[in-house]
Amino acid sequence: MLSRPLTSSPCLRKAKTTSRSMARAYATVKKDPNYVKIVEVGPRDGLQNEKSVIPPEVKIDLINRLNKAGMTTIEAGSFVSPKWVPQMAATDKVITGMTRIPGSHYPVLVPNHKGLSNLLTLLSSHPSSPSSPPPPTDEIAVFTAATDAFSLANTNCTVSESLARLAPVVEQALKAGLRVRGYVSVVIHCPYTGRVKYEDVKSVTKSLLEMGCYEVSLGDTVGMGTPGSVKEMVETVVGADGRIPVEVVAGHFHDTFGAAVANVHTALSLGIRTIDSAVGGLGGCPYSPGATGNVATEDVIYSLKDSRYHTEGDLDKMVDIGYWISERLGRQNASRAGKAMLAQRNRKRVEKEREREGGNAESVSAKL
């Protein structure tokens, strides 16, 4: 249970009155109701828990490849203490070294005021102008959880305390002209306390929106969600009271039990139109034992084929990227669609080689 009402903090009340209109400016509904926006989280959420340190050049290459594959929102890194997340230590080098496409967004995770201060210092040294490239980023993400137990394990504070800490961070980011997106972890099941109370998920989501987040991503961090539990959770969060429009809610599903794609489609059927995913199914959570990676971007794109929904991203190129980054990390590609499409390619290549060899043999026989 949460320790006290989430909106009781003076910081939250202040953020509610100063930031709501700014956040709502970003929370606009796309004209096409069947368009599904994908937030590619591979370069941050997908890589942050890898044991071996990945050079910044590899991360830059990954983001540039995702750019070329048509992804327009790519989570690029995190301004967090390298003591806690060594993998994100070079985010400043990554976001200044990568190619920035006008109109695309490259959010970075900012857990606290120090992280935001470091980011703002970096941005001040890269002023934007009509003749210069886009800034390293124009968006941050902040995160909390739906249970005190998970929040304490992750950030050493309760949910209410985390929200109180985040409120001034969000306010300052908005004043600096940055977009702010929120994350809520363990919205279905908590590894420490079991099944989560969906009213708590709604309360936390509401608090993040009120402090100024233009969108809140609901994370099935453990990956234990099913279409039934996802439906119940989403319906509770965007209930009939109309306080939380479905347009400002996103889905973030891990594939521990192989239900992530089904959960994505359940979320879409309920009106959600933004889905977080990671190329190659990258990811995991150190505070959630046994949890596997995010739903693979390739699997999401493939599952939308021949449906009423459509999205961005070149599937063939995403398959190539998933194979490439998995090889670089020395791990198995977790994308089912990616592995199947690669197998088809290999089979076609072998068939062509056999045809070519057979043709040459016939040609030689004819000449003889």
**How crowded is residue 70: how many other Cβ atoms within 10 Å of its Cβ?**
17
Q: How far apart are CA 247 and CA 270, in angstroms?
A: 10
- Tell which residue, 73, 6, 63, 71, has the closest CA to residue 215: 73
Residue 157 DSSP symbol: S
Give me the count of residues in the chain.
368
**Amino acid letter, 204:** V
Closest CA to 179 of 245, 258, 254, 123: 123
Question: Are 39 and 251 spatial neighbours (Cβ–Cβ below 8 Å)?
Answer: no
Rounded Cα distance, 171 and 10, in Å: 13
Handedness of CA 39, 139, 24, 145 (dihedral sign): positive
Sign of the CA dihedral with 54 first, then 279, 338, and 284 last: positive
Q: Which residues are CB-neighbours of 208 under 8 A, at least 6 positions away? A: 142, 144, 163, 166, 182, 184, 216
DSSP E strands, the chain: 35-40, 77-78, 108-109, 139-145, 179-185, 189-190, 194-195, 215-220, 249-253, 274-277, 310-311
DSSP string over 181-249: EEEEE-SSEETTTEEPPHHHHHHHHHHHHHHT-SEEEEEETTS---HHHHHHHHHHHT-TT-SS-GGGE
Instruction: Check if the beta carbon of residue 71 is closer than 8 Å to that of residue 36.
Output: no
Report the distance separating Cα 66 and Cα 30, nearest Å.
22
Residue 157 catalytic?
no
Of 11, 157, 213, 285, the catalytic one is: 285
Give the residue numbers annotated as catalytic, written as ranges: 285
